């Protein structure tokens, strides 16, 4: 059956306790996607955990630990139909301990809502989340200033937070004039799915209306098929089901594929048997679709998160050494040759070593400032040579920009972000 509306993946990110899951839960309830009966059950469970007011968050936070702690740990997905789009909502964790899951969410998104609580304003993770959205290629971001009920719906408080965020946006290269700001109170439902009467001064869209104001994603269906694996399930009667977002190309039933690096490091061959999206079986899916698939000849031991499913005739590269342009965001000292942090590339996490600092460059002009610098500090951009310490699937910006971006993390924070320019040595 043909899809009536184009699909768009939208991630909700923000500091822990900013109210992301509550906004999403409230919207699903107010649009009828969650019934009154289901909400009553969730309200009772929230009370049981001593989390009164968390019932809307429970719509998305389904893991027992999430409900008991009141924080989002893993990614959650829900479908919602708007006037223009079939939306897949990705609710990403805000807690610093689970940023790696947030990176996965951002890597799957076309657009994003960054949620900031009005009473708290900008928080440590806010800057990190903006950098990560930028790194993962999310160009369209809307800012939700939430919990306006906690500041008596005052316009001046909204403007103070808006000004704070504006400075951050400029710092990461996002244009303020192109960024919508939404005044919202998720728990009360103000400007979520319905216009608020408590903020007559606010003339902008609701969160629900903003979905349709995002531009329709340009689908890179002309590139080779690539699907980074986000998770792998074992489903009775079907078998092994990897799930993830198709980044580029088109996937069809009967298509010959290769899973790289796979358990062998050299790839596992298979054939697409079934494709499913939002519980609907499809003959084919394309870039931008979040799908679950079954692959003939592939078992659970063959495939894992971080693998990439490619068309067999045009496989993705397993890089042994590559050159990249990076920007240092937040390193406690300096970054030097020999440094080996963890690289987050699509859904993979692989330690990689900086084997050469080739040249420091001016981030605005691209001109070379210094050849072979001894070290890099916060704010520096440079061309560097990198050697993965494990199997890593990667492509260059020129060949496939959707598979070229990465974030560099160490000791619980994002230290740098970058893009692959050249693959020097290949494993396959």
Q: Which of 110, 72, 68, 107 is nearest to 91 (CA)?
A: 72
With tokens 């009920």, the residue in question is 149
Q: How far is CA 94 from CA 103, 195, 298, 389, in A?
A: 10, 27, 34, 28
145, 54: one domain: yes
Please report the pLDDT score of residue 271 as a whole number: 94
180, 242: one domain: no
Residue 265 lies in a domain: yes
Cα 218 from Cα 239, distance rounded (Å): 33
Strands 86-91 and 7-14: parallel
43, 150: one domain: yes
What is the average per-residue pLDDT within 330-339? 89
Q: What is the mean pLDDT of the chain?
A: 83
Domain boundary among 213, 237, 256: 213
| pLDDT 10s digits, 84-132 | 998 888 766 543 443 445 555 556 678 899 999 999 999 877 877 787 7
At 408, give phi and psi (nearest 5°).
-115, 125
Residue 339 lies in a domain: yes
77, 117: one domain: yes
Work out whether the CA dihedral 30, 36, 39, 40 comes out positive or negative. Answer: positive
CATH code of 242's domain: 2.40.30.10
Tell me: pLDDT of 330 over 80: no
Domain boundary among 281, 311, 341: 311
CATH code of 24's domain: 3.40.50.300
Residue 117 lies in a domain: yes
Under the banding of pLDDT at 50, 70 and 90, the label for residue 55 is low
Please report the pLDDT score of residue 428 as a whole number: 73
368, 408: one domain: yes
Residue span of the structural domain in which 148 resides? 7-213
Of the listed ranges 75-89, 198-212, 333-347, the one predicted with least confidence: 75-89
At 104, give phi and psi (nearest 5°).
-60, -45
240, 197: one domain: no
Under the banding of pLDDT at 50, 70 and 90, the label for residue 269 is very high
Residue 376 lies in a domain: yes
| pLDDT 10s digits, 2-46 | 456 888 888 888 887 788 888 888 888 888 777 677 767 766 776
- For the chain, the residue count is 428
At 103, give phi and psi (nearest 5°).
-60, -40
Q: Which residue has the higher pLDDT, 97 or 426?
A: 426
Q: Which residue has the higher pLDDT, 420 or 328?
A: 420
Residue 1 lies in a domain: no
130, 278: one domain: no
Is there a contact between 379 and 369 (Cβ–Cβ < 8 Å)?
Answer: no
Burial of 36 from C-beta contacts in 10 A (0-12 / 13-18 / 19+): exposed
Please report the pLDDT score of residue 50 as a whole number: 61
202, 239: one domain: no
230, 361: one domain: no
268, 151: one domain: no
With tokens 């894992």, the residue in question is 304
Number of domains in the chain: 3
């Amino acid at each position: 059956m043909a899809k009536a509306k184009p699909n768009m993946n939208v991630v909700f990110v923000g500091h822990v306790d900013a109210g992301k899951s509550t906004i999403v839960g409230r919207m699903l309830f107010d649009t009828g996607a969650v019934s009154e009966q289901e909400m009553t059950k969730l309200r009772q469970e929230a009370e049981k955990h001593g989390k009164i007011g968390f019932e809307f968050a429970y719509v998305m936070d389904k893991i027992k630990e999430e409900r008991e702690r009141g924080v989002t740990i893993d990614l959650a997905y829900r479908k919602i139909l708007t006037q223009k789009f079939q939306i897949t909502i990705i609710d990403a964790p805000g807690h610093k301990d689970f940023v790696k899951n947030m990176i996965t969410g951002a890597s799957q998104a076309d657009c994003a809502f960054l949620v900031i609580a009005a009473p708290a304003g900008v928080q440590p993770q806010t800057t990190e989340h903006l950098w990560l959205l930028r790194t993962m290629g999310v160009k369209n971001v809307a800012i939700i200033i939430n919990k306006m009920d906690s500041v008596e719906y005052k316009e001046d408080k909204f403007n103070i937070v808006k000004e704070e965020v504006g400075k951050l946006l400029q710092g990461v290269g996002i244009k303020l004039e192109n960024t919508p700001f939404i005044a919202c109170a998720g728990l009360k439902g103000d400007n979520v799915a319905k216009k608020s009467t408590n903020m007559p001064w606010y003339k902008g869209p609701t969160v629900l209306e903003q979905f349709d104001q995002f531009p329709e994603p340009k689908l890179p269906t002309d590139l080779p098929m690539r699907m980074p694996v986000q998770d792998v399930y074992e489903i009775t009667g079907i078998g092994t089901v990897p799930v993830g977002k198709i980044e580029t190309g088109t996937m069809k039933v009967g298509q010959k594929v290769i899973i790289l690096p796979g358990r062998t490091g050299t790839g596992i061959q298979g054939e697409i048997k079934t494709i499913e999206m939002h519980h609907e079986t499809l003959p084919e899916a394309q870039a931008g679709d979040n799908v679950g698939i079954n692959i003939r000849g592939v078992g659970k031991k063959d495939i894992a998160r971080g693998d990439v499913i490619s068309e067999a005739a045009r496989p993705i590269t397993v890089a042994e050494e590559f050159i990249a342009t990076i920007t240092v965001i937040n390193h406690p000292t300096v970054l030097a040759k020999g440094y080996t942090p963890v690289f987050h590339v699509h859904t993979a996490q692989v330690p990689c070593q900086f084997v050469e600092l080739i040249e420091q460059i001016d981030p605005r002009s691209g001109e070379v400032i210094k050849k072979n610098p001894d070290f890099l500090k916060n704010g520096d951009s440079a061309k560097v040579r990198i050697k993965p310490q494990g199997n890593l699937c990667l492509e260059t910006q020129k060949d496939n920009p959707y598979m070229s971006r990465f974030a560099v993390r160490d000791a619980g924070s994002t230290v740098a972000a970058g893009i692959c320019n050249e693959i020097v040595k290949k494993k396959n």
